[in-house]
Amino acid sequence: MNIDFSDKVVLVTGASAGIGESTALLFAALGAKLSLVGRNEGKLRAVAAACHKLRGLQPLPIVADLGTDEGVQKTAKETLDHFGRLDVLVNNAAIGALTSLQPLDMKTFDEVFRIDVRGVYQLTGLLVPALIESKGNIVNISSIVATMVNVGSLPYSMAKAALDHFTRIVALELAPKGVRVNAVSPGITVSDFIKRITDQTEEQYREWLGQYSKNIPMGEPCLGDDIAKMVVHIASEHSRLVTGTIVEVDGGLRFTPIAGSR
Ligand SMILES: NC(=O)c1ccc[n+]([C@@H]2O[C@H](COP(=O)([O-])OP(=O)(O)OC[C@H]3O[C@@H](n4cnc5c(N)ncnc54)[C@H](OP(=O)(O)O)[C@@H]3O)[C@@H](O)[C@H]2O)c1
């Protein structure tokens, strides 16, 4: 059975870069009508143009900050006004931060939770009626740090643990309405995400990736497309009875107890 999203409307948050960009491109290649969200208008429009080239369908780019009520409301309203329906919601947008308990950093904690947890809760809540109508589904992008016990990124790890439990509980709440809810949990994935939070140059990042890959049982980091392929698989009819699951795509990294121990 081929995967086909023709006539399906898919909303991808954080589509202006990284995993969200790869996911948008793959859905576009599979015929989906896309609503794409990010704050960087130039990058978002470039991704929309690349999606358009694939099958000739014009995505709807929405410039919005999902850490604000206005940004979330704008995203939900513009998507439904434009397409009149929604079949798949991919909650991908997130920020990370290298923050632990000492020193206490409430500004970073609030920022991470505002975007990574509050924004997801609010956007999903606003779009649930449309997903019930279409018997659609939700794919949340989590992280293996939600379950690995590593010191160094505490609010972000807590936020992703919250997202995992959100996934399970909302899956149970919406199952009787015919809506599936799942998460894909990436390991180290090549994008600007880690480079940004560690303040590395491209060269330092590539060097770090090479070194870190020795800790990954499969020996290499994920690419955005590796995550995107799992997202479309879960969002498709291939997974019609899959709900409340969290699927790791990490080359086995979650089994490495202490980074650098191999
Ligand atoms: N890369 C990894 O190693 C890794 C590992 C595990 C999990 N993840 C998860 O994978 C997802 C994507 O990460 P990535 O690696 O692709 O990161 P990325 O390259 O930094 O992309 C993040 C995306 O989220 C958007 N975004 C961030 N804050 C936003 C906000 N307030 N409002 C709207 N959009 C916002 C960004 O767009 P703008 O900048 O245009 O706003 C960008 O499109 C995240 O949920 C992350 O936690 C990543």
Q: Which domain holds residue 16?
A: 9-187+222-246
Give the atom of ligand 1 at the shortest distance from the alpha carbon of 189. Answer: 3
Give the atom of ligand 1 at the shortest distance from the alpha carbon of 21. Answer: 43
Rounded to two decimals, the pTM is 0.98
- Sheet of 180-186, strands arranged across: 60-63, 33-38, 9-13, 88-91, 137-141, 180-186, 246-249
Determine whether the shortest distance from the Cβ of 92 to ligand 1 is under 6 A.
Answer: yes
Asked if residue 209 belongs to a domain, the reply is: no
By the 10 Å C-beta count (0-12 exposed, 13-18 middle, 19+ buried), 241 is classed as exposed
- The domain total for the chain is 1
Q: How far is Cα 59 from Cα 172, in angstroms, rounded to an integer? A: 31
Determine whether the shortest distance from the Cβ of 156 to ligand 1 is under 6 A.
Answer: no
Terminal-to-terminal C-alpha distance of the chain: 40
Q: What is the CATH number of the domain that holds 141?
A: 3.40.50.720
Burial 48-76 (b: 16+ CB within 10 A, else e): beebeeeeeeebbbbbbbbbeeebbebbb
Q: How far is Cα 200 from Cα 140, in angstroms, rounded to an integer? A: 27
Ligand 1 atom 47 nearest Cα: 94
Asked if residue 73 belongs to a domain, the reply is: yes
Ligand 1 atom 44 nearest Cα: 94
By the 10 Å C-beta count (0-12 exposed, 13-18 middle, 19+ buried), 237 is classed as exposed
Which positions are catalytic?
156
Predicted local distance difference test score (pLDDT) of residue 188: 97
Predicted local distance difference test score (pLDDT) of residue 178: 98
Predicted local distance difference test score (pLDDT) of residue 222: 98
Predicted local distance difference test score (pLDDT) of residue 258: 54
Per-residue pLDDT of the chain (262 residues; tens, 9 = 90+): 799 999 999 999 999 999 999 999 999 999 999 999 999 999 999 999 999 999 999 999 999 999 999 999 999 999 999 999 999 999 999 999 999 999 999 999 999 999 999 999 999 999 999 999 999 999 999 999 999 998 999 999 999 999 999 999 999 999 999 999 999 999 999 999 999 999 999 999 999 999 999 999 999 999 999 999 999 999 999 999 999 999 999 999 999 865 443 3
1 CA distance to ligand 1 centroid (A)? Answer: 31
pLDDT tens digits, 66-97: 999 999 999 999 999 999 999 999 999 999 99
Asked if residue 258 belongs to a domain, the reply is: no
Give DSSP secondary structure letters for 148-202: S--TT-HHHHHHHHHHHHHHHHHHHHHGGGT-EEEEEEE-SBSSHHHHHHHT--H
